[in-house]
Amino acid sequence: MADNKQLKVTLVRSKHGRLKNHQDCLRGLGIRRIHRTVLVNDTPENRGMINKVSYLLKVEEA
């Protein structure tokens, strides 16, 4: 199935001192520590969270 695309998301800037809902977006994506990469499904919900905190992340297609 071609719709099982995933994204590699890496936290490149600290989440400390950020808005609470931005920290919640990172938690929802499963990102815990800086310079760690997680794989997330490419869904509209995940894209929305990624767009909200894009200034903290590096995103690549997996």
9-29 pLDDT, tens digit each:
999 999 999 999 999 999 999
Given a cut of 80, is residue 1 above it in pLDDT?
no
**Which CATH code fits 6-61?**
3.30.1390.20
38-53 pLDDT, tens digit each:
999 999 999 999 999 9
- Cα separations in angstroms, 42 against 3, 14, 19, 20: 8, 23, 24, 24
Using DSSP, state whether 7 is helix, strand or coil. Answer: strand
Per-residue model confidence (pLDDT) at position 17? 96
Q: Where are the domains of the chain?
A: 6-61
Q: What is the pTM of this model?
A: 0.89
Percent pLDDT > 90 in the chain is: 92
